[in-house]
A and B are shown apart, each in its own frame.
Chain A
């Protein structure tokens, strides 16, 4: 018998009971669909995070308040520990590898108990309020699309001007040009807080969602205006407390050296033995994000593999039932000249065909599920279907069929022809 003959026999036999074949496949279909969907989701999320972290601009170092993280966990309650003065000191130190530097303060970021919103003609949009300096554009490689960014004059005048993120502009103004319009920016807890009128001077280019925040969902104001009008609610002490210092390094400089030297400088300024701030390069953040994604992926794949094993057990069960049910058929085939190996292959190939077809349907179902998820924007991530996982799924499905089929096929091939013929 050639392989084509064996395949033909297996397909004919499977085709003679389509419903049962489909039900047998179901475990594998669901298992493979789960593998495809879940790996696509986690792969997509991972890629998205990598893209966005790289998209922050190359060669960046971030300094944030709080002690150095241990295993990604930062102990709360350490209080403000990063100040505009720190940023000025780094600038003044004239490190040859610092290209530019921009401090920023925020209200309404993730985990912030104070929220911020932008209000125009009765429309209220909850957003991130970001106070920064003109250098921010260059440091973050993030530019205005229309109008202008904040300049030095705005700083000295403590001007009430704002640059809108693309989403905020779109939501509040639609097709209308926001530049020159006046909006109200409110910061507070619940209904209590402070609101001021700001004039829109520009709109940022669209940038997409980042690892932490949607970079287009932002209103940018000059740092001094922020501190004078709004930020005092966050700063009970004399110094000007900020949330982040962004430093862009010169091309080809070493991030490790920069982190070390800038860290020493700040520890001297704060007069502490251990850092009371976090200093991370872009690749540190990328590593952490990748690690998190990796462990998530391991979890996802283990769950999917367990479901495949369960599917495989189901197939073995059905194959055993099928061997018993077809005992007489096996006897007839042996009587007309089928060898042991012919019978063995028939059942083994049947099992492998079931799981491989189940695998194919599972891949289609997985891709379909992803299409639907993307169309209806279910979940916040992007999805990336990888050829690797499609191949892995197929191989796993076929191997499952092999293992599930071996024992039933062996049982079938060892049947005594006379006993089998007598079987009712």
Chain B
């Protein structure tokens, strides 16, 4: 459960104060499948960084599961990022020279969990990469790299995954596959999925579209996702996406 009230973020550039976000009010319930849309410069990435506890707002309050995030210290934010939040980036942001399974196990390393390899293998199976576990990023296609990133974001069983233009670097066929992976995570594991995007197609795939312009929310509407509309081609969820091994804690 995410609750934003009057979120404002002001950057000081030289002598000028620029408001990237200007009084954003937003509620996101558990298990939602939504997108935050807007042109570049609308403040959507800033909003995602704040929701993701990577950045702090200048004003306003942010309650994550009832906890006032502004009052947490750096280490506590790191723990939140590690346990409650998952990130997927446009540029995948995988570590070079590290095998897929090690990448995926990384969040568990920072949690101090044992049995990391087993949980990582299960997460990779969930995104359909069981046969690529020991490949390095340079040995994987763009779509496969993004699947590794998704596995990494979900391995710690977060309650919300934030995806910043996750299909921006992929062709349309691969994009649909990736969106389908997200959809199955939402439907089968109940993880809240929030896309940040400027693409209509991506937004249309979700059940709620929040529009942002000049740091303000200018639209917030439910949406019938494209995969439920008649006559349109459906993206298919990966066949293996059935069950997930218990995540270690």
Contact = CB atoms under 8 A, between A and B. Distances in A.
Interface stretch (B28-36, B104-112, B202-210, B230-238): B104-112
Given A12-B98, A342-B110, A418-B55, A337 B83 contact: yes
A336 B95 contact: no
Contacts of A421: 54, 89, 93
Given A1-B112, A328-B93, A334 B55 contact: no
A337 B87 contact: no
> SS class of chain A's interface: helix, strand, loop or mixed?
helix
A340 B110 CA distance: 11
Nearest to A424: B91
Given A16-B97, A328-B93, A5 B109 contact: yes
A293 interface: no
> SS class of chain B's interface: helix, strand, loop or mixed?
helix
From A1, A332, A337, A418, name the one whose CB has the most chain B CB atoms within 10 angstroms. Answer: A337
A239 to B, nearest CB: 86
A154 B6 CA distance: 118
Contacts, number: 64
A2 interface: yes
A413 B93 CA distance: 19
B81 A335 contact: yes
A328 B137 CA distance: 15
Contacts of A336: 81-82, 87, 106-107, 110, 152-153
A338 interface: yes
B97 A337 contact: no
Nearest to B86: A336
A11 to B, nearest CB: 12
Query: Which of the four size classes fits the interface of chain B?
Result: 20 to 34
Contacts of A332: 93-95
B223 interface: no
Interface string B68-84: 00000011001101110
A339 B83 CA distance: 13
Given A335-B81, A337-B156, A418-B54, A1 B87 contact: no
B110 A337 contact: yes
Given A328-B93, A338-B78, A417 B54 contact: yes
17 contacts: A2-B112, A5-B112, A16-B96, A332-B94, A333-B106, A334-B81, A335-B54, A335-B87, A336-B81, A336-B106, A337-B110, A338-B110, A340-B78, A417-B54, A418-B54, A418-B55, A421-B89
Closest A-B pairs by Cβ, 7 of them: A337-B82, A16-B97, A337-B110, A339-B78, A336-B107, A337-B81, A332-B93
